Amino acid sequence: MKYDYVIIGNSAGGIGCAEAIREVDRESSLAIISAEKYRTYSRALIPYYLDGRIDEEKMYYRPEDFYEKIDAEAHLGVKVERVNVDSKEVELESGEKLGFNKLLIATGGKPFIPPMEGLKNQKNAFTFLSFDDVLRVKEACENSDKVVVLGGGIIGLMVAEVLSRKGLEVKVVELLERVLAPVVDETVSRIVQRKFEENGVEMILGDTISKVSGEEEIQSVTLRSGRKIETDMLVIAVGVIPNVDVVKGTSIKINRGIVVNRKMETSAKDIYACGDCAEVYDSILGSYRVLPLWPIAYSGGRVAGFNMCGVERELIFATAMNAMHFFDYYIITGGLNLRDGERDFEVISEIEGENYRKVVLKDGEILGFIVGGEVRRAGILMKLMREKLNVSSFKESLVKSSFGFLDIPKEFRWELLGDKVKIGVVREV
Ligand SMILES: Cc1cc2nc3c(=O)[nH]c(=O)nc-3n(C[C@H](O)[C@H](O)[C@H](O)COP(=O)(O)OP(=O)(O)OC[C@H]3O[C@@H](n4cnc5c(N)ncnc54)[C@H](O)[C@@H]3O)c2cc1C
């Protein structure tokens, strides 16, 4: 069987691509392949499903007849083994081959599992990336009292919070000396750590699990420091790495993720990539990197889809941006997160209780910001950063808790609101 368009991946990137293709081309054949058996769902909602705040139906952000409506053949629960660049085919696990004229690879990320002595496929060890993962965790925590979460990043802390709300005794083990290190600074790390501790979660920092004990089920973990912790469950959430398995050993260039240009073209003709498996151009950093974020995957998919149909588009804006909350503490970040002590940048910050605002500037332009606690109007910082406006004349006001639109000089206000500003992240070329 040969299709005009084949998309590997049925999540943000794949769906963005399929929808863009159908905006331009209703006629050509289109196949979407996904190793997961579910119709497209929101990965970001997994913690809320575990929490019981949403039911299964709310996880799905497209209706049941979505594939029919966009006239796409959905191959769900079907794993692609490899891409054959020369013959323009994808080879399925079953051995079947599907041909394509244009291909999008949107295979996302996979969990990183650090080496731990004794870790095999014990049934109470989990990762937390997929719907299958959350179903397993949900079932397991019904019969568990104690859990160890390895990893104090966003996903690890989200799981830890939900499980502690469910009444489990939770211990978080983090290798670094502070939580959320890749996304926030020391100040916010400490506030978040305190929130967890106040809610009865033990935060074990600067340590990791070196050994797990138990055959069928893990009974205890031993830390590098020698401490032994009895547990009913282990959740491993130390990071996500680009899932580039289907292109390994092909001519498609891979760095950390699949290398693409701003049209999402890979190094192989007619083959595109986007989302967590690819490296995109970070407009603030000025270089390519993996940015595992939902809106970037979706926009990248749209850019790829248009280009696959011959309508030229580029991804014009992508950078790190996170909105998160732990217990009652809200955080919004954008752009660069300076490691503490880095120079060459101007840093302005202000803290009032737990309300924290910090901007990182270079040559008068915002390169990054963190807002914690009261997060209203953080969107203005994102807009100023994105439009690369020189904020020197009002930089001090950016970190005031009262900061608002009226603090921005009139001429900039027009620039921010007016026609000059290109809205959207996809540009015609
Ligand atoms: C718990 C959690 C919370 C998150 N919260 C946020 C958030 O608040 N904001 C945000 O911006 N981002 C968030 N993210 C990240 C966001 O979900 C990802 O950036 C986004 O899902 C990436 O989309 P993608 O299309 O690149 O890949 P994925 O969503 O990873 O999907 C990959 C697709 O490829 C398929 N696939 C993979 N390998 C194969 C194969 N060999 N054969 C066939 N199919 C294959 C999979 O079945 C799946 O359909 C969160 C992620 C998690 C896990």
- Please report whether residue 69 resides in a domain: yes
Residue 80 CA to ligand 1 center (angstroms) comes to: 16
232, 129: one domain: yes
73, 133: one domain: no
Task: Work out the number of other CB atoms within 10 angstroms of the CB of residue 339.
Answer: 10
Residue in 127, 244, 294 to alter for ligand 1 test, most ligand atoms within 8 A of Cβ: 294
Is residue 156 within 6 Å of ligand 1 at its C-beta? no
pLDDT, position 273: 98
Model confidence pLDDT, tens digit, residues 262-271 = 999 999 999 9
Is residue 16 within 6 Å of ligand 1 at its C-beta? no
Residue 162 CA to ligand 1 center (angstroms) comes to: 20
- Please report whether residue 251 resides in a domain: yes
- Please report whether residue 89 resides in a domain: yes
Residue 276 CA to ligand 1 center (angstroms) comes to: 7
Average pLDDT over residues 287-291: 94
Is residue 46 within 6 Å of ligand 1 at its C-beta? yes
Average pLDDT over residues 157-175: 98
Residue 215 CA to ligand 1 center (angstroms) comes to: 31
pLDDT, position 423: 41
pLDDT, position 422: 45
- Please report whether residue 297 resides in a domain: yes
- Please report whether residue 134 resides in a domain: yes
Locate tokens 């997060």: which residue?
375
Residue 95 contacts by C-beta under 8 Å, 6 or more apart in sequence?
none
354, 281: one domain: no
Both tokens assigned to 44: 């970001």
Burial class (CB in 10 A: 0-12, 13-18, 19+), 368: buried
Burial class (CB in 10 A: 0-12, 13-18, 19+), 402: exposed
Is residue 246 within 6 Å of ligand 1 at its C-beta? yes
Model confidence pLDDT, tens digit, residues 78-95 = 999 999 999 999 999 999
Model confidence pLDDT, tens digit, residues 101-118 = 999 999 999 999 999 999
Model confidence pLDDT, tens digit, residues 128-159 = 999 999 999 999 999 999 999 999 999 999 99
Helix (H) or strand (E) holding 31: strand 30-34
Is residue 105 within 6 Å of ligand 1 at its C-beta? no
- Please report whether residue 115 resides in a domain: no
47, 88: one domain: yes
pLDDT, position 21: 98
- Please report whether residue 83 resides in a domain: yes
Both tokens assigned to 251: 């001519």
376, 422: one domain: yes
Which residue has the CA at smallest separation from atom 52 of ligand 1?
44
99, 195: one domain: no
72, 83: one domain: yes
342, 372: one domain: yes
Structural domain boundaries, residue 284: 2-109+241-313
Rounded to whole angstroms, the Cα distance separating 101 from 4 reads 5
pLDDT, position 428: 59
What CATH number does the domain containing 198 carry?
3.50.50.60
CA distances from 22 to 13, 104, 312, 386, 397 (A): 15, 14, 15, 29, 46
147, 189: one domain: yes
> Total structural domains in the chain?
3
* Domain's final residue, options 238, 261, 285: 238
360, 418: one domain: yes
Which residue has the CA at smallest separation from atom 51 of ligand 1?
44
CA distances from 307 to 4, 22, 31, 260, 313 (A): 13, 12, 17, 13, 6
280, 212: one domain: no
Average pLDDT over residues 294-316: 97
- Please report whether residue 116 resides in a domain: no
* Domain's final residue, options 313, 345, 360: 313
Binned at pLDDT 50, 70 and 90, residue 305 comes out as: very high
Residue 405 contacts by C-beta under 8 Å, 6 or more apart in sequence?
377, 380, 413
158, 230: one domain: yes
pTM for this model (two decimals) = 0.94
* Domain's final residue, options 238, 273, 291: 238
Residue 96 contacts by C-beta under 8 Å, 6 or more apart in sequence?
none
Share of the chain above pLDDT 70, in %: 95
For residue 36, give the ligand 1 atom closest to its CA. Answer: 47
Average pLDDT over residues 330-353: 86
Mean pLDDT, the chain, whole residue set: 94
Is residue 35 within 6 Å of ligand 1 at its C-beta? yes
What CATH number does the domain containing 367 carry?
3.30.390.30
